[in-house]
Amino acid sequence: MADLKHEGRTAFIPFLVAGDPCLSTTVEAVRELDAAGSSVIELGVPYSDPLADGPTIQSAATRALERGCTLKAVLRAVESL
């Protein structure tokens, strides 16, 4: 990140809610975002009380939880990267 700042460039930092629509798609998306040159990829872990998040992220977290996404499953998915 310091190199980007020094070079006057902007970082590309996408955010994904892990498990929406499913963890295999999350893993594929992370790989594609990495290949596209992301500086950092932020993965949001869905939880049952996302009050600090806006409605779009809340909806994504709810969908992921309804499909059984858990912290343990997200960490396993991250390990596969």
Can you give the pLDDT at residue 57?
A: 94
Enumerate the active-site residues.
42, 53
Q: pTM for the whole thing?
A: 0.86
Would you say residue 1 has pLDDT above 80? no
Pairing of strands 15-17, 42-44: parallel
Tell me the per-residue pLDDT of 52-70, one tens digit each, with 9 for 90 and over.
889 999 999 999 999 999 9
φ/ψ of residue 23, rounded to 5: -70, -35
Give tens-digit pLDDT for 23-37: 999 999 999 999 999
Tell me how far apart the alpha carbons of residues 24 and 52 are, in angstroms, rounded to a whole number.
26
